[in-house]
Amino acid sequence: MAIDPTSPVPKYAQLRDLLLDWIVEAGLSVDALVPSERELGVRYGLSRMTVRQTIDLLVAEGKLYRVPGKGTFVARPKIEMALALASFTEDMRARGFTPGSRDLSRRIGPASGGTARMMGIPQGTPVHQIERLRTADGEPMAVERSSIPVSIAPHLDTFSLSGRSLYSILEEEFGIILDSGEQTIEAGVCDPADAKLLGLPLGSPVLSMQRRSFAKGRCVELARSLYRADRYQLHSRLDPRRTAGS
Ligand code: 16G
């Protein structure tokens, strides 16, 4: 396939699709070297600037990565985010990664107006405020900020979360079994502090999530999380459209 100069699709975007197809067809595996910008320019009849634009895009999308002085390589496939009420620990283990957690801050504080509204509790209600960096095989994946009412899990602050899953502590120590939840996912850009924690360049894209988890109708956790968009993607099954009355 070649670049179509008459197409309304910009050349850098056409090259993106052509390159991704070529990587699959040529059987390039993870960490394989991609031809240089000069070679690609010659192959597809494009200027070096256009090729660079495509490579920049594919790097930002997490499809390729650059090693200064060495070249551009095929990146690992993204992790598919489980759209389920699973804990980070369960999810990572199921995919063969070793989950990790580093406390960034833990304290008990009054629920803000927004948090209280979302959780269905009075403003100012004491909540555990837990901020953690989540890792997979030691690599930063997400920053998670959770609020949990103190009345639900009174001495949760006495448990270490670095070697143990929050959901398993809720279950084993407080008898709380989460039975329903809801999650909103939006595109976002990480601020300087989060970019540093996640080891990403400033302004990198992230998946910004807000999750409410319930047990017996009571909101147990409100979590606001930032997941690396270069490592995660969403996938969901689509059910057939139901017509009225069915
Ligand atoms: C998931 C949840 C998070 C929860 C955590 C518990 C999302 C967006 N977030 O990462 O709300 O706090 O699991 O994980 O899915 P843990 O039991 O491993 O500590």
Residue 123 lies in a domain: yes
Q: What is the pLDDT of residue 10?
A: 95
Report the separation in Å between the CA atom of 36 and the middle of ligand 1, taken as the mean of its atom positions.
Answer: 40
Tokens 């405020």 appear where?
A: 129
Tokens 């580093």 appear where?
A: 102
30-34, 43-47, 194-198, 227-231, range with the lowest pLDDT: 227-231
166 CB contacts (<8 Å, ≥6 apart)? 87, 130, 146, 221
pTM of the model: 0.84
Do 62 and 99 sit in the same domain of this protein?
Answer: no
| Ligand 1 shell residues, CB under 6 Å | 87-89, 144, 146, 165-167, 209, 211, 221, 223, 225
Do 107 and 224 sit in the same domain of this protein?
Answer: yes
> Based on the structure, what is the number of domains in the chain?
2
Range of the domain at 18: 11-74
Q: What is the pLDDT of residue 237?
A: 84
Q: Where are the beta strands (DSSP E) in 150-217?
A: 180-189, 205-215
Tokens 């993870």 appear where?
A: 30
Please count the other Cβ atoms lying within 10 Å of the Cβ belonging to residue 112.
14
Contact 236, 84 (CB under 8 A): no
What CATH code is carried by the domain that includes residue 99? 3.40.1410.10
Do 100 and 52 sit in the same domain of this protein?
Answer: no
34 CB contacts (<8 Å, ≥6 apart)? 19, 23, 28, 40, 55, 64, 71, 72, 73, 74
Q: What is the pLDDT of residue 246?
A: 53
pLDDT tens-digit series, residues 95-143 = 899 999 999 999 999 999 999 999 999 999 999 999 999 999 999 999 9
Which tokens belong to 48?
Answer: 């070096």
What CATH code is carried by the domain that includes residue 34? 1.10.10.10
Do 48 and 147 sit in the same domain of this protein?
Answer: no
Do 127 and 32 sit in the same domain of this protein?
Answer: no
Do 139 and 214 sit in the same domain of this protein?
Answer: yes
Residue 187 lies in a domain: yes
Contact 104, 133 (CB under 8 A): yes
Sheet holding 139-149, edge to edge: 99-110, 126-136, 139-149, 218-228, 205-215, 180-189
Do 217 and 108 sit in the same domain of this protein?
Answer: yes
The residue whose CA has the least distance to atom 3 of ligand 1 is: 223
